Amino acid sequence: MIAALLLAVAVQSPQSASLPGATVRGRVTNAEGRPLAGVLVRLQRAGDRSEPPPVHVDDSGVFEATNIPPGDYTLFASRTGYQSAGYPERAGQTRGTLLSLGPGETKDRITIVLRRAGAIAGRIVDRNGDPVEGVLVSVLLIPPRALRSQRAAMAAAFAPARRTNDLGEFRVYNVLPGDYFVVASAVPVNGLGGVILPGHGATFFPGAAAVEGAQVVHVGGSETVAGIDFALAPARLATVAGQMLSSAGQPFQGGIHMRLSRRSGVDLGSVGAYTYPDGRFEFRNVSPGEYVIESQNNNERAFQYVSVDGADVTGVIVQTHNGSTIDGRLVFDGNSPPSRISGEVLATTLDPDLSGAQQRVPVRADGTFQVTGVFGPRQLRYLGGASGWTVRQILAAGNDITDSFVPFGSAAQSLKDVQIVLTDQLTTITGMSTDRRGNPQISGAIVVFSDDPQKWTSLTRYVRTARLSRDGTFSLTGMPPGGYYIAAVAALPENGLVEALFEPDFLEPLSRDAKHILASESQPVSVSVRVAEQ
In tens, the pLDDT along 372-427 reads 999 999 999 999 877 889 999 999 999 999 999 999 998 999 999 999 999 999 99
Looking at residue 533, what is its pLDDT? 61
349 vs 372: CA distance, rounded Å: 15
Domain membership flag for residue 270 = no
Q: Which contiguous run of DSSP H or E holds residue 512?
A: helix 504-513
CA 401, CA 399: separation in Å to the nearest integer?
6
Judgement on whether residues 75 and 172 belong to the same structural domain of the protein: no
Domain boundary among 48, 81, 115: 115
Q: Give the residue among 17, 110, 13, 26 at the shortest CA–CA distance from 64.
A: 26
Q: Is residue 130 part of a domain?
A: yes
| Same domain, yes or no: 125 and 225 | yes
What is the CATH classification number for the domain harbouring 164?
2.60.40.10
Q: Which amino acid is at 198?
A: P
Are residues 527 and 441 part of one domain? yes
Number of domains in the chain: 5
Which own/partner pairs from 204-210 qualify as long-range (CB within 8 Å, at least 24 positions apart)?
A: 205/122, 205/181, 205/230, 206/230, 207/231, 207/232, 207/233, 208/233, 209/233, 209/234, 209/235, 209/287, 209/288, 210/264, 210/288, 210/289
Q: Give the SS3 label for residue 48.
A: coil
Selected residue with higher pLDDT from 468 and 184: 184
* 35: containing domain: 14-115
Tell whether the model's pLDDT for residue 195 goes beyond 80: no
Characterize 140-166 residue by residue with b for buried, 16 or more Cβ atoms within 10 angstroms of its Cβ, and e for exposed: bbbbbebbebbbbbbbbebbebbebee
How far apart are the C-alpha atoms of 295 and 132, rounded to whole Å?
34
CA-closest candidate to residue 298, choices 270, 322, 325: 322
Question: pLDDT band at 337, cuts 50/70/90?
Answer: confident
Task: Report yes or no on 1 lying in a domain.
Answer: no
Minimal CA–CA distance to 506: which of 147, 60, 159, 91?
147
pLDDT at 316 over 70: yes
Can you spell out the DSSP letters for 123-167? EEE-TTS-B-TT-EEEEEEPPPGGGTTT--EEE-TTS--EE--TT
Closest listed residue to residue 28, CA positions, set 55, 1, 3, 62: 62
Supply the pLDDT for residue 80. 85
**Alpha-carbon distance 519 to 485, whole Å?**
10
Contacts of 248 (CB under 8 A, 6+ apart): none
Do residues 32 and 100 share a domain?
A: yes
Of 65, 88, 115, which residue sits at a domain end? 115
- Digit-coded pLDDT (tens) for 240-273: 999 999 999 999 998 999 999 999 999 998 999 9
Q: CA 479, 482, 484 angle in degrees (round to 5)? A: 80
pLDDT tens, 484-526?
999 998 765 544 445 566 677 788 988 998 999 999 998 999 9
CB-CB neighbours of 523 under 10 Å:
9
Q: What is the pLDDT of residue 489?
A: 86
32 pLDDT more than 50 = yes
519 and 455, same domain (yes or no): yes
Are the beta carbons of 165 and 133 closer than 8 angstroms? yes
Concatenated DSSP letters of 71-86: EEEEEEEE-TTEE-EE
Are residues 103 and 144 located together in one domain of the fold? no
Whether 125 and 224 map to the same domain: the answer is: yes
CATH number of the domain encompassing residue 377: 2.60.40.1120
